[in-house]
Chain A
């Protein structure tokens, strides 16, 4: 076990290193940070000077090395744009994103799982078909469009919900949360929905597909033969047997959502990491991007570790034998 963890840890480090390497190989193609940092009138000489000071003229490898050496000390440098410690910036934005992602994933599951089970049980039912279709429309429209439409309808026309931002937030030991204030909760609704739609569709369809298989197995038949309660058969026995792929996807989705809520955050001006990141990309803010990618990589490593653990938790057949 100890061995298992340490092994995973070493692997994680490797992952991070590689991510950093690729990241740095990539930054060249994003553009020239200096142009983004100075006014248009700034002279060529000044720009070159700046470029030199930032070490942008060094080879990728050198820059990469420098970054690693710093990262090893958990220093991620100063943002070009904000002239502020990247770690601080990200720490500031992290809560917003995490709250949004978690809420939306929970939403997706809370709606998706029952829907999935239902559509599987009433395979050819009218309502089931409607669910399936509607959920599809949800995914075939781009996020930004959905977001804007929601804003237009609930924000502008009905004026029920705020159109942008996070509303009032309370700061609990450096963690800002919008979950405790009414305006914060209101502000959360639209972005969460926008973000949830895609995963919801995925969950619904996955669960449906898997349920259809499991419901035909002999052990479900035997559960029926024992006269178990229908709910127990569907959820305790059948659903549990569909979980492995679902866990996988949900895990990935959670990661993806945390990482790339970019569009949603932009549309709703949600002050999260995604927004920070997309701005960093447009302004080639290398320190932010580098640190951010590392963070994301860490997220994924952890999430996937958990997912793998869950496999074992869910399916005894996978547990170590002899």
Chain B
């Protein structure tokens, strides 16, 4: 009876795999549910419920489903479950509608073969399918959970507290935000590489407590480890920290859409419309010091708006050098010899040391004469203010982004697409950066099936963005998992923890 006890800073609120598109929840459910595909330790796409697939014609993908797979409740897994899951994931109230293009048609070839018919070619159709989990039709119908639990629902849904997947573990007990217990699924179709019988998960919100729990040996594993505590955890015998690159990119954005900034002393014009000012801000930032002092070395300064892991030609790009003098000069050129004042919005409980980073940046910008009024808030208020719902009410902000599809296209659309005031075009392009050329390229990239050409276009788009300083990329924050020495595991850089690879002795 080997039990794995671990903790994360948050909990899995809803167990319905389509109700929340959020890394931890999906990762957590990934041990119970499975998609047609799955990702290996290095995020490479592997067959899962689909044994194999081929692109029979540019707009038709064929998937051969694995036979003899059973859901935890004993039902067989068949094509109709896939059909059902497709309908469900696209249905009203689903938060994962982006997993599949809305105009996809599905055709059942036979009990264990399905075709997906697209309107236009899509090279990355299945990129995110590892977290599009397949649900059991009968089960859903019998517990009327056919529709995904919409947040606005006025009544509870069975699927919120109960699971019925095909995965290596079955959920046996779940108290939201308190405790979840899983037990191994004896008749899983695949060869288990773990040696666990039971997994107990506890969310522990307070960093210090989480660390303490690991140090005191009450849990075998926990994440994230606050960067400043890494030494301590490593120093403690019996525990150590696994670090690794993460996919999320932290960056600064500037309002380049309005003709006058909301929070600034500059009247009548918007300094950020001037690329020299943006570049000055960029060069004022000493990313290395931030890495060494605030991130304690656990971050990868980045020239691009996405992790190098997700774009093989990223090494062609260099950050603009840190150079306060140059920055001053640029400002002067742009007509701000003695700088200006701008208000900055920053979350204080969202990303690793987010508030500290913002403070550091404030003082760095102060050096080149740009005075920043820092407004650090908890994420609820922060997002309410800066996102579309708040009318992009910000002039200068810090944000983090992980492209769910692990693909540049996602970054280009969401963060760089020209948007209108309601956010159509580039919903998370808060600063409203806009360049037709980039938009064209983005569109093409979306449909180009040939990797070579595609990468060229991506590179070109990125180069423009880089030159025009659409945003100021800072770094990819690192992963830090605290692990006690008696267990081994695989750390995936999408920060999802799969019990599948855990061995405890």
Chains A, B in direct contact (C-beta < 8 Å): yes
B380 touches A30 (CB 8 A): yes
- B13, B98, B161: the one contacting A81 at CB < 8 Å is B13
Output the nearest chain A residue to B207 by Cβ-Cβ distance.
A148
Contacts of A105 in B (CB 8 A): none
A38 touches B21 (CB 8 A): yes
| A197 CB to nearest B CB, Å | 18
- Asked if B204 CB lies within 8 Å of chain A CBs, one says yes
A83 touches B209 (CB 8 A): no
| B12 CB to nearest A CB, Å | 10
Stretch at the interface among B103-111, B359-367, B382-390: B382-390
- Asked if B175 CB lies within 8 Å of chain A CBs, one says yes
Output the nearest chain A residue to B385 by Cβ-Cβ distance.
A31
| A172 CB to nearest B CB, Å | 17
- Asked if A140 CB lies within 8 Å of chain B CBs, one says no
| A82 CB to nearest B CB, Å | 5
Output the nearest chain B residue to A29 by Cβ-Cβ distance.
B381
- Asked if B208 CB lies within 8 Å of chain A CBs, one says yes
A38 touches B384 (CB 8 A): no
Inter-chain CA distance A32–B382, complex, in Å, is 9
B176 touches A82 (CB 8 A): yes
Total interface residues on B, CB under 8 Å, equals: 62
Interface residues of B in 201-248 (CB under 8 A from A): 202-206, 208-210, 212-213, 215-218
Per-residue interface assignment for chain A, residues 68 to 97, with 1 indicating a CB less than 8 Å from any chain B CB and 0 otherwise? 000000000110111111000100100000
B349 touches A282 (CB 8 A): yes
Contacts of A162 in B (CB 8 A): 216, 218
B175 touches A83 (CB 8 A): no
- What does DSSP make chain B's interface, helix, strand, loop or mixed? loop
B202 touches A269 (CB 8 A): yes
Stretch at the interface among A14-22, A41-49, A129-137, A302-310: A41-49
A282 touches B380 (CB 8 A): yes
Stretch at the interface among A149-157, A207-215, A233-241: A149-157
Stretch at the interface among B29-37, B53-61, B146-154: B146-154
A41 touches B98 (CB 8 A): yes
Inter-chain CA distance A283–B19, complex, in Å, is 16
- Asked if A34 CB lies within 8 Å of chain B CBs, one says yes
Contacts of B155 in A (CB 8 A): 78
A271 touches B178 (CB 8 A): yes
Total interface residues on A, CB under 8 Å, equals: 56
A54 touches B152 (CB 8 A): yes
Output the nearest chain A residue to B419 by Cβ-Cβ distance.
A44
Per-residue interface assignment for chain A, residues 49 to 60, with 1 indicating a CB less than 8 Å from any chain B CB and 0 otherwise? 011011000000
Contacts of B382 in A (CB 8 A): 31
Contacts of A77 in B (CB 8 A): 154
| A292 CB to nearest B CB, Å | 14
Output the nearest chain A residue to B389 by Cβ-Cβ distance.
A32
| A304 CB to nearest B CB, Å | 31
Output the nearest chain A residue to B202 by Cβ-Cβ distance.
A165
- Asked if A298 CB lies within 8 Å of chain B CBs, one says no
- B97, B153, B206, B428: the one contacting A40 at CB < 8 Å is B428
B153 touches A267 (CB 8 A): no
B97 touches A46 (CB 8 A): yes
Interface residues of B in 341-382 (CB under 8 A from A): 349, 378-382
- A32, A43, A152, A276: the one contacting B383 at CB < 8 Å is A32
A83 touches B13 (CB 8 A): yes
Contacts of B178 in A (CB 8 A): 271
| B67 CB to nearest A CB, Å | 33
A283 touches B380 (CB 8 A): yes
Inter-chain CA distance A162–B13, complex, in Å, is 25
| A173 CB to nearest B CB, Å | 17
- A38, A39, A155: the one contacting B216 at CB < 8 Å is A155
- Asked if A107 CB lies within 8 Å of chain B CBs, one says no
| A135 CB to nearest B CB, Å | 25
B384 touches A269 (CB 8 A): no
- Asked if A266 CB lies within 8 Å of chain B CBs, one says yes
- Asked if B265 CB lies within 8 Å of chain A CBs, one says no
Contacts of A83 in B (CB 8 A): 13-14, 16, 19, 149, 151, 153, 156-157, 160
Inter-chain CA distance A191–B212, complex, in Å, is 15
Asked whether A89 and B151 contact (CB < 8 A) given A44-B427, A156-B216, the answer is: no
- B19, B153, B380: the one contacting A35 at CB < 8 Å is B380
| B151 CB to nearest A CB, Å | 5
A47 touches B156 (CB 8 A): no
Asked whether A279 and B156 contact (CB < 8 A) given A39-B20, A151-B209, A164-B204, the answer is: no
Output the nearest chain A residue to B149 by Cβ-Cβ distance.
A83
Interface residues of B in 77-126 (CB under 8 A from A): 95-98
Contacts of A181 in B (CB 8 A): none
- Asked if B164 CB lies within 8 Å of chain A CBs, one says no
B residues adjacent to A (C-beta < 8 A): 13-14, 16, 19-22, 95-98, 149-157, 160-161, 175-179, 202-206, 208-210, 212-213, 215-218, 349, 378-384, 387-390, 401, 404, 410, 414, 422-424, 427-428
15 contacts between A and B (CB under 8 A): A29-B381, A37-B151, A42-B95, A50-B150, A82-B13, A83-B156, A84-B156, A84-B161, A84-B176, A148-B208, A148-B212, A155-B216, A164-B218, A267-B206, A276-B177
Closest 9 CB pairs of A and B: A39-B21, A31-B380, A32-B384, A53-B152, A31-B384, A35-B383, A271-B178, A31-B381, A44-B423
New A-B pairs, 6, CB < 8 Å, besides A39-B22, A83-B16, A164-B210: A31-B380, A32-B389, A44-B389, A46-B95, A50-B152, A82-B176
